[in-house]
Chain A
Amino acid sequence: MGKNIHMAKTENKSKTQTPEEKREEMQTKISQLGSELVKEVDAGDNLHIDIPVRGSANVLFDEKQKKILLGDKMSKRYLFNVAHARRFMQTMLVASYVKKDLLGNNLTATLRDLYYAKKRTIKGFKEDTIDEQKESDLAIVDLEVAMDSFRERLHLRAEPKGRMAGDLTVLDRVRDKVDSIDLSRMGSGGWAVPSIVEQIEFKDVGIEYVLVAEKNAIFDRLNEDGYWKKNKCLLMTTAGQAARGARRLLQRISTELKIPCYCLTDSDPYGWYIYSTMKYGSMALAHESNRLGCPDLKFLGMSTSDIEHYDLRNVTIKAKEVDIKRAEEMKAYAWFKTKEWQSEIDLFLEKKLKAEIQALSSKSLQYISNTYLPEKIKNQDFLP
């Protein structure tokens, strides 16, 4: 299986390269792609780009590394093919924008910036180069995998999302300016995790574990209760599905600081999915699992058995058809094949009940801070 795995090489190199070297490397890669295409133009051949196949057909689960990884199936994307032509053109637009406008000027941009920069009406036709941002987003991923690289290296930023609070000081850089940020002094809102976190350094570590809450509301509750101070932890929220910056930073904290990380979501298949993406990576971004996955993340709750254990029966929600279907799908995923998760999913399918974390507020507002979490962590009551 090892030979099927991409990225490992880039991962190792990144530690030693300076930002300038990284930029030059990517520019060279794109230039090489351009030269190959020009060769085809000169030879009168059909232009093509080799792109690893994405999606479930080319996704593997590496049990040892605990990562969802991209396999080695390749496909060719041609310019002169009715089905490929438009996407080929869009991938070329992305490549030229990245090389010339972003890397060339040492600027970063959001996916939406790129979308607007390259969206225009094709000369002589009643068609736009890009209709919806989804199209340019997909072309970006094409270029990422074709370059055997990832978005941040292309100087493209996702929308930042996620906040942190805790006894930890980090160093961040904006160009040549270095800021020292004390995450224990960020007030009620916490520190906003940027979309690119490669430049962050950790200093003055006073935390023993990380608690990642799916929901903003839980972060605010625990921050207000001073939970992180009392329990010496770094409190984090992903505000729903975790953004790349938050995932990358969580991975770095986990591996560089070597402290346990716990995840807290609603008790439903969507919550499990948020957790599994943070832990193993996702099928859609399988090529990034090495950078974004956090294999040591544990699922603290809320579990289906918590509903019984904490007597939350009266504050549950009946599972819908779509929840049942999703649960059945997830039960079949290789990364949910552990004994513990199989029985968790089975229990859900049997009870057909969902619960929000806020259901704990039915006991009392601070029940989560004072009883639920300390008890769960003390008893090491989590799913792998």
Chain B
Amino acid sequence: MTEVKQPPLPTEEQLSKEFKEYSVAEFFKRNRQMLGYSGKVRSLTTIIHEAISNSLDAAEEAGVLPDIYVEIQELPDGHIKVITEDNGTGVPKKNIGQAFGKLLAGTKFHQMKQKRGQQGIGISYAVLFSQLTTGKNTHVKSGIGDHKVYECDLAIDVKSNSPVIINEKEYSKNYRGIRIEFEFSEVTYNRSEYSVYEYLRRTALANPHCQITLVEPNKEVIVFPRAVKEVPAKPKAVQPHPLGITTSDLIEMAHASTSRKIASFLTSEFSRFSADKVKEIATLIPDVNFDRAPRALTWPEAEKIVNTIQKLKWIAPETDAMIPIGESHIEKSLKNLLQPDELKVIERKPKVFRGGIPFLVEAAIAYGGKAGANIGGQTKAEVLRYANRTPLLFDAGSCATMEAVKNIDWNRYDLKDWENQPISIFINLVSIHVPYTGAGKMAVSPEDEIVQEMRNAIMDCARQVSIYLHAMQKAEEQEQRRQIFFKYIGEVAEALHDITGKPQKDLQDKLRKIAEKRTALMEAMDEEAEKAEVEDLDEEAEKEIQDE
């Protein structure tokens, strides 16, 4: 297992200690950077990320095409007001408090399926962050499609980690979805590569079935239009596989479990976890009492269980729970938003990492058009990183995607200077257990198998782009050749006429025909040479893949 390397994070021992001493809300108040609330731009992006992830999941749940609205306002007092609205399932009145006003209690928590957010902290922490930075309540409007609308203002009681709801009102109206309005300070809006704008652009790229509207503080309205009208298949809800679990996952699940004993918690909430397996583990770690209540599970105990799980043999998890975006949807999406000159999309077959966790990689390279990032007026390459369609904007340095991109010999694909080219490299890791490098969930741990798959996928795409670049270069050379041939015909015909007395027009016409013929001849010759070149390229690439 790859170790988590994030200096500001507390050690596991500290974590364990602090879990005991404070309420969950208190704990996260003191460790906000763990959840992505570090830096003014990043904090705002994290808030949007939490809201949008929920919106997309809710639309998927409802089986509708998501319409997502985000508005950012700069208030006179320097605060930033954020409004998000979707057309998803909405949240029933009785669950609003749980969903928005209590950390670690989200609706998603007990379901294990391929989804965007992975824990129930996200949106509640945004509510808490608003409260901590401005002292203001969050306004929520919700409708589940039963002709009733519910609105309230909401806060979190930090000491008890419980919701405080005021100003409730209910009225009749045809409305389905959620609208959240909250205010923040210590956040900034801009259009940098870590911004809300970029986050939404990338979300739109990986979710072509959704339409996103962004209203910026200057009232500029940006629409990322929908590219496909099919709702993606609903991911199958599966229980987590033991091999995919981390210590903190196990703690969180155990503390939220309704099982009476740790043993029954394990067998009932994980897939492939039989009573025999529990016994097998219990014999290996006799000091852990599996008859105790899961709520009492300590960090050291959880750690021992997780470590022992890694030593045993397990039946592999089901793979049919993975839902990729799909080659045709990625293609439509990238064409829709990037209008590239050349595009290659690839979906690799499922593979496993950590000895049994299934995953698959989807990748694409878009070249030309609006592909690439515009940094200071200059076109640069961009790497669009995703885990289960969710954009990964931060911590690129430690991410498997970047490891894969950097390990490619771009020279081989005539892209030596790829970082300064109009290129968008799109990589989506699909897995029920995405191995994130940290609690911020912004980078994929560089597991060997994952990096290798990403690398192969990008190389497949790069090959196509290389062929395109070759063709373009040849076409340009051909055009130059044609130009050169035709350029001098007039002069030569005149000179030949002066020397021989033959009619100039006739000479010129005949020379034109020869020029046309010779250009075509060269083209044929070049095509053969080019074909051989491409074959060499493919051979080399195949060798490289085999070598590893």
- Contacts from A to B (Cβ < 8 Å): 30-31, 33-35, 37-38, 41-42, 44-47, 79-80, 82, 85-86, 88-89, 92-93, 95-96, 99-100, 122-125, 127, 129
Contacts and interface: CB of A to CB of B under 8 A. Distances in A.
26 contacts: A30-B499, A38-B500, A38-B507, A41-B496, A41-B507, A41-B511, A42-B510, A44-B510, A44-B513, A45-B514, A47-B511, A79-B488, A80-B515, A86-B484, A88-B488, A88-B492, A89-B491, A89-B492, A92-B492, A92-B495, A96-B499, A99-B499, A100-B498, A122-B488, A122-B491, A124-B490
Contacts of B148: none
Contact of A34 (B480, B490, B499): B499
Interface in B492-537: 492, 494-496, 498-500, 502, 507, 510-511, 513-515, 517-518
Given A82-B481, A89-B491, A122-B488, A46 B498 contact: no
Main secondary structure of the interface of B (DSSP, over half): helix
Contacts of B491: 89, 92-93, 122, 129
Contact of B514 (A30, A31, A44): A44
Contacts of A35: 500
Contacts of A124: 490
Contact of A33 (B480, B487, B492, B499): B499
Contact of B518 (A37, A80, A95): A80
A103 to B, nearest CB: 11
B487 to A, nearest CB: 5
Contacts of B498: 96, 99-100
Interface in B435-490: 480-481, 484-485, 487-488, 490
A378 to B, nearest CB: 58
Contacts of A129: 491
B514 A80 contact: yes
B507 to A, nearest CB: 6
Interface of B: 480-481, 484-485, 487-488, 490-492, 494-496, 498-500, 502, 507, 510-511, 513-515, 517-518
Nearest to A92: B495
Contacts, number: 80
Contacts of A33: 499
Contacts of A45: 514
Given A82-B484, A86-B488, A122-B490, A41 B514 contact: yes
Contacts of B485: 79-80, 85
A100 B514 contact: no
Given A41-B507, A41-B514, A122 B496 contact: no
B30 to A, nearest CB: 70
B474 to A, nearest CB: 13
B495 A95 contact: yes
Contacts of A123: 490
Contacts of B514: 41, 44-47, 80
Given A41-B511, A41-B514, A46-B518, A31 B488 contact: no
Contacts of A125: 487
B496 A38 contact: yes
A45 B507 CA distance: 13
Contact of B484 (A38, A47, A85, A96): A85
B518 to A, nearest CB: 4
Closest 5 CB pairs of A and B: A34-B499, A92-B495, A96-B498, A96-B495, A89-B488
A35 B496 CA distance: 9
A31 B495 contact: no
Given A96-B496, A122-B488, 7 more contacts: A31-B499, A41-B496, A46-B518, A85-B485, A89-B492, A92-B495, A96-B495
Contacts of B507: 38, 41
A38 B508 CA distance: 11
Contacts of B511: 41, 47, 79
Nearest to B514: A44
B508 to A, nearest CB: 10
Contacts of A88: 488, 492
B478 to A, nearest CB: 11
B348 to A, nearest CB: 43
B488 A34 contact: no
A89 B489 CA distance: 8
Nearest to A120: B491
Contacts of A93: 491, 495
Contact of A85 (B488, B490, B496, B517): B488
B499 A127 contact: no
B496 A37 contact: yes
Please indicate which of the listed interface residues B499, B514, B518 has the most CB atoms of chain A within 10 Å of its own CB.
B499
Contacts of A100: 498-499
Nearest to B506: A41
A79 B518 CA distance: 10
Contacts of A86: 484, 488
Contacts of A47: 492, 511, 514
Contacts of A42: 510
Contact of A95 (B490, B499, B513): B499
A44 to B, nearest CB: 6
A99 B499 CA distance: 7
Contact of B492 (A30, A46, A79, A127): A79
Contacts of A80: 485, 514-515, 518
A42 B481 CA distance: 22
Contact of B500 (A34, A89, A127): A34
Contacts of B488: 79, 85-86, 88-89, 122
A311 to B, nearest CB: 62
A86 B486 CA distance: 11
Contacts of B513: 44
A31 B490 contact: no
A31 B492 CA distance: 14
Contacts of A122: 487-488, 490-491
Given A34-B496, A99-B498, A44 B487 contact: no
A95 B507 CA distance: 17
Interface centre among B480, B513, B514 (most CB of A within 10 A): B514
B268 to A, nearest CB: 76
Nearest to A33: B499
A41 B510 contact: yes
B523 to A, nearest CB: 13
Nearest to B493: A41
Contacts of B490: 122-124
Nearest to B502: A38
B78 to A, nearest CB: 57
B481 A96 contact: no
Nearest to A104: B498
A25 to B, nearest CB: 15
A99 B502 CA distance: 15
A114 to B, nearest CB: 13
A328 to B, nearest CB: 40
Contacts of A44: 510, 513-514, 517
A296 B64 CA distance: 103
A324 B485 CA distance: 45
Contacts of B495: 89, 92-93, 95-96
Nearest to A79: B492
A203 B174 CA distance: 123
A234 to B, nearest CB: 42
Contacts of B518: 46, 80
